[in-house]
Amino acid sequence: MNYWPWWAGAIGLALVTINYTLTTDKPFGVSSAWDRVLHWRAERRIERLETEFTDERALVDALAAATAEHFGPLPEAPAPRTAYADAPAPAGAPPAETSASNTSRRSTPVVAQAALLLSILVGGWVAAVTAGRFKVRFDMGDGFRQIVTADRATMFGVLFLGGVLVGFGTRLAGGCSSGHGLSGCGRLQPVSIVATAVFFGTAVLVSFLLWKVI
């Protein structure tokens, strides 16, 4: 089979990761995007709350009002001393947070996550069509039939179980090959480097056992 050059794939993945990070200011991850799209109703509620409370003062006031409604009015706090009202912040103290910094901590819109997943699907289709290898099929090819099974019902069962295990594993590990391997390793995060070494090392070992031993 004819594949794209390795360097073209590497450049493409790098550009996608960098563009996503610059556009959303968030780590790139497919499993997290899929999880958020599946729970899009809850994510939309969270987005509305984040939009409503971009101002930290408005959030504090809303929490105070909800607390007073549930527990009764709170006692009046003493007025701040005028002498210290305009006092400068101590040396080395972190600057006060602004609405812009609060906005940067907001989650990526679920629409952007859905667009990411759709782009992966469309990109794979375009690549297959341009290479002349696009074909609708309902099996995994000769290699899968020789190594795993030739029975179609068993094949779908194995694929379903494998998908469930992969989904469970990625959520348990806090990311997948894109989240840890591309984004996390690119940010030099130790947990991502360890996770990437573990699941790629496991993949190499399993591939060796399938092709050389079994």
For 47-69, the DSSP string reads: HHHHHHT-SHHHHHHHHHHHHHH
Three-class secondary structure assignment of 68-124:
HHHHCCCCCCCCCCHHHHCCCCCCCCCCCCCHHHHHHCCCCCHHHHHHHHHHHHHHH
In a domain, 206, yes or no: no
Quick check: is 24 in a domain?
A: yes
Residue the block writes with tokens 């690549």:
127
Query: Structure pTM?
Result: 0.58
Residue 83 CA from chain centroid, whole number? 48
Q: Report yes or no on 58 lying in a domain.
A: yes
Q: Give me the pLDDT at residue 62, please.
A: 72
Q: Is residue 212 part of a domain?
A: no
Q: Tell me, yes or no, whether 111 lies in a domain.
A: yes
Please give the pLDDT value at position 155: 85
Structural domains of the chain, count: 1
The answer to whether position 161 is within a domain reads no
Quote the domain boundaries for residue 60: 1-76+97-136
Establish if 8 belongs to a structural domain. Answer: yes
What's the CA angle centered on 143, arms 137 and 146, to 5 degrees? Answer: 110
Residue pLDDT tens, the chain, 214 long? 567 788 888 898 888 888 888 887 777 888 888 888 888 788 778 777 777 666 667 667 777 777 877 777 766 655 555 444 444 555 554 454 444 444 455 667 778 888 888 988 898 888 888 878 788 877 777 777 777 777 888 888 888 998 898 888 888 888 888 888 888 888 888 988 998 898 889 889 988 887 776 6
